Amino acid sequence: MSKIAYDSVEKRIIATVLDDRSPFGFDNFNELKSEHFDLEITKKAFEWIKNQLDTDDKISLLTLQSAGVLNDNQMEQLIDFKEGMQLKLMSNNDLVDKLKERRKIRDREDLKNKISKMIDEGKSSEEIASVVEVLENSKVWEKPIPIVNHNIPEFDLDFLNIDYFRDMVENVSEFTQTPKLMPLLIGLASLATALAKKAVVQIKTGYQEPLNLFIVVFMGPANRKSSIYQLFIKPIEEKQEQLREEVKVERRHLNKKKNILEEQLSKLEKAAASTTDTNKQRELFEKVYALSDEIEEMEIPTLPKLIASNVTPEQMNILLEENKGRLAILSDEGGIFKILSGQYSRVTNLEGFNKGWDGGNITDDRVGRSSVNVKNAALTLGLAVQPIIFEDLQNKRAFRQEGAIGRMLLGFPKSKIGHRKVGFNAPELDQLVVNNYKRAMHGLLNMQPMQVDNSGEWIPHVIKMTREAKEIFYNFEEDIERRMGPEGDLNNMVDWAGKLKGNLARVAGIFHLASKINPKTGQASQDIWQQKIEPDSMNAAIELGKILIPHAKKVYGLLEIDPEVELAKYVLERILSSGEEKITKRDVYRLVEKKKEIKKVKDLDKILAFLEERYYLKVIKRENNKPGRNPSPLIKLNPEIIKLTSSDNIDNIDKITNKINNVDYVDNVDTIKDLEFDDLREVVI
């Protein structure tokens, strides 16, 4: 092949490699390879790339290798190449990490072999120690992973099967510069408010789920929670005002009538009390009784209340009774949790709260006030709470023990503060999207239950699932059941995972009904109550559930209600309290033996493994060259943890793990995992 042909191929190679349009900068390498690549051209291309790259060029070594341009040795040469250029490696290049790690492992293996040879040759301890020191210094610790640290993956909204709702969530997220999960969950709580007690989802005969939800989003201050609420709950407030206006005239007329009847009753009572005529008095008594009954039986409707904010459990029960069992507590503050946890009364009161989610009957016969009776309560919760409020809750464990946390769909998104678009770069609110959402919400709010009985109780429609939707639901149920088992990742939060399935059936029903509304007219499909839940609505609900699982894990960690995490924190704090960089496992046991969960040294195994996986420490097994039991394993702390505790006087493991996220560690490319060479240090001690 001629020189011109070589140059042409090489330029095509490098132009494609350096193309920034693809994460790996190379979409048509296979075509080039099959058309032009032979060994000679590969070598030529390698040399050309090595010599021609400028300092600002980016190159994906993973692409070059996977396409067959570079072998491992050539890759290492390119990594080592420093003269005349600084090679910028793409951040997602796992291959570079592996190559660097392989080289360090090889170097350490050489040192290990050298130490073994020195021991065999009978070299002095001092000579061996000097080589061990080099080995020690060649090791870089991984950055410790916060003990309460759950990977919260990013997600897009393509899974939502309701166009107007997806557009609203996306637009509000962009307008407020907040993570998508916050408007998504607040919007879902708004949909649930509109549909509560109007329908139930039938999963199988004898098992139904209502459509009200408990939703809590954790987000710190200055994250524009109020703006999000105002946009999503505006249609509910408008509907509430409309209902109140409709009732005001009737209330005014009935109150006037009641006042007149009470005046007549008062006159009859006075007349009956003043007469001495027995027959006349008997006649007056009859009139008094009849009029009293009429007044007693008069029902003056209360002003409808669809939403409330911070109410006491007693007020909540009264509002549920006055509104036929329906109420939503929607708030961007966490005051309701303080009230429920007993911060003011010193007693938790979650019974009515929990029954409001279950759809149960609430009876409140407390002394000093009228009895309250609510049939088939449908309480919806949609809160955005600052994490610190939950952390500081009195009796927060009661929220789990009494089942409140398990009933909630929990979100803990990462704030965008510090990275938000501002000024001219900040997106505008799309009023067309907002109007579509408002019309659709009014359509949902105007929906009626199947019937209203003589007592005014709502009888909901029953929505069934298609066979395909049921299959999707049952497959998810099977997966969750497995994960709740002894070895599963949800074993420590079965109270939440066990109710997740029912929650997602509710979400599927909400998505199903919301998808049947025309956002241009606000009208529902004529046969909406006959249509079954289809796979798209069920898939959307299940996908939301998968998104929320890591968020729930994070919240459980925040509440310190994961026993494994809490025990690991305790053990690490006790190890740090010793002030030692290295400590034996038996000495660790002496520090923690008063803890009832740690009855013997072996009970530390799982806890230490947990901490080792997160790079807080290393457990080094030691062998005894003499007869008898092996020495107790040595626990070596990550030097960065020691540095944090000593330099900043940090005495709480939560503060330590928070600090970890703000410490600059060596980049992972230059980090290797501990290969258990620390035991060599023990050889020469």
Nearest CA to 212 among 355, 331, 363? 355
Residue 631, pLDDT > 90, answer no
Band (311; pLDDT cuts 50, 70, 90) = confident
Band (681; pLDDT cuts 50, 70, 90) = very low
Band (72; pLDDT cuts 50, 70, 90) = low
Band (29; pLDDT cuts 50, 70, 90) = very low
Residues 6 or more apart in contact with residue 489 via CB below 8 angstroms = 483, 553
Nearest CA to 214 among 181, 236, 192, 237? 192
E strands along 376-530, which residues? 378-385, 408-411, 451-452, 458-459, 461-463
Nearest CA to 246 among 308, 322, 301? 301
383 phi/psi in degrees, rounded to 5: -120, 145
What confidence score (pLDDT) does residue 20 get?
A: 37
Band (547; pLDDT cuts 50, 70, 90) = very high
Residue 11, pLDDT > 70, answer no
Residue 92, pLDDT > 50, answer no
- β-bridge pairing 634-637 and 617-620: antiparallel
Mean pLDDT rounded to a whole number for the chain? 79
Band (620; pLDDT cuts 50, 70, 90) = confident
Contact 119, 131 (CB under 8 A): no
A 10 A CB-CB count for 237 gives 13
As a whole number, mean pLDDT of residues 278-299 equals 90
**In this predicted structure, which of 113-117, 171-175, 408-412, 447-451 has the lowest mean pLDDT?**
113-117
What confidence score (pLDDT) does residue 613 get?
A: 86
What confidence score (pLDDT) does residue 266 get?
A: 93
CB-based burial label for 494 (10 Å; 0-12, 13-18, 19+): middle
- Measure the CA–CA gap between 674 and 661, rounded to whole angstroms: 21
129 phi/psi in degrees, rounded to 5: -60, -35
Residue 672, pLDDT > 80, answer no
Residue 599, pLDDT > 60, answer yes
What confidence score (pLDDT) does residue 35 get?
A: 42
Nearest CA to 404 among 346, 336, 462, 504? 336
As a whole number, mean pLDDT of residues 530-544 equals 98
Say which DSSP state 329 is in: E
537 phi/psi in degrees, rounded to 5: -70, -40
Band (494; pLDDT cuts 50, 70, 90) = very high
As a whole number, mean pLDDT of residues 547-553 equals 94
Helix (H) or strand (E) holding 215: strand 214-218
The residue among 480 and 220 whose pLDDT is bigger is 480
What confidence score (pLDDT) does residue 567 get?
A: 86
- Measure the CA–CA gap between 521 and 517, rounded to whole angstroms: 8
Contact 562, 493 (CB under 8 A): yes
What confidence score (pLDDT) does residue 134 get?
A: 58
**In this predicted structure, which of 86-95, 434-443, 530-539 has the lowest mean pLDDT?**
86-95
Band (684; pLDDT cuts 50, 70, 90) = very low
CA angle 157/542/177 to nearest 5° reads 25
What confidence score (pLDDT) does residue 342 get?
A: 61
As a whole number, mean pLDDT of residues 184-211 equals 97
What percentage of the chain exceeds 90 in pLDDT?
Answer: 48
What confidence score (pLDDT) does residue 402 get?
A: 84
Sign of the CA dihedral with 94 first, then 96, 99, and 104 last:
negative
Residue 5, pLDDT > 50, answer no
Axis-axis angle for helices 351-358, 313-322 (nearest 10): 40
As a whole number, mean pLDDT of residues 93-106 equals 51
Q: How far is CA 8 from CA 14, 31, 45, 263, in A?
A: 10, 15, 11, 105
Indicate the pTM of the whole model. Answer: 0.66
- Measure the CA–CA gap between 453 and 615, rounded to whole angstroms: 63
Nearest CA to 354 among 340, 369, 372, 338? 340
What confidence score (pLDDT) does residue 497 get?
A: 97
Residue 73, pLDDT > 70, answer no
Residue 34, pLDDT > 60, answer no
- Measure the CA–CA gap between 169 and 165, rounded to whole angstroms: 6
What confidence score (pLDDT) does residue 142 get?
A: 74
A 10 A CB-CB count for 49 gives 22
What confidence score (pLDDT) does residue 136 get?
A: 54
Band (28; pLDDT cuts 50, 70, 90) = very low
As a whole number, mean pLDDT of residues 498-506 equals 97
Contact 146, 658 (CB under 8 A): yes
Sign of the CA dihedral with 539 first, then 544, 550, and 552 last:
negative
As a whole number, mean pLDDT of residues 47-55 equals 48
Q: How far is CA 240 from CA 96, 114, 237, 258, 458, in A?
A: 61, 81, 5, 26, 18
Residue 143, pLDDT > 90, answer no
The residue among 131 and 677 whose pLDDT is bigger is 131
What confidence score (pLDDT) does residue 417 get?
A: 92
Report pLDDT digits (tens) over 340-388: 766 555 556 688 889 999 999 998 876 456 788 899 999 999 999 888 7
Band (235; pLDDT cuts 50, 70, 90) = very high
Band (182; pLDDT cuts 50, 70, 90) = very high
Highest mean pLDDT among 330-334, 342-346, 464-468: 464-468
As a whole number, mean pLDDT of residues 511-527 equals 96
- Measure the CA–CA gap between 170 and 164, rounded to whole angstroms: 10
Band (630; pLDDT cuts 50, 70, 90) = confident
Highest mean pLDDT among 145-154, 315-324, 390-399: 315-324
- Measure the CA–CA gap between 314 and 317, rounded to whole angstroms: 5
Band (81; pLDDT cuts 50, 70, 90) = very low
As a whole number, mean pLDDT of residues 132-137 equals 56
Residue 101, pLDDT > 60, answer no
What confidence score (pLDDT) does residue 590 get?
A: 93
Both tokens of 434, joined, read 């907002």
Helix (H) or strand (E) holding 569: helix 563-577
CB-based burial label for 428 (10 Å; 0-12, 13-18, 19+): exposed
Report pLDDT digits (tens) over 240-274: 999 999 999 889 999 999 999 999 999 999 999 99
**In this predicted structure, which of 7-21, 170-184, 591-605 has the lowest mean pLDDT?**
7-21
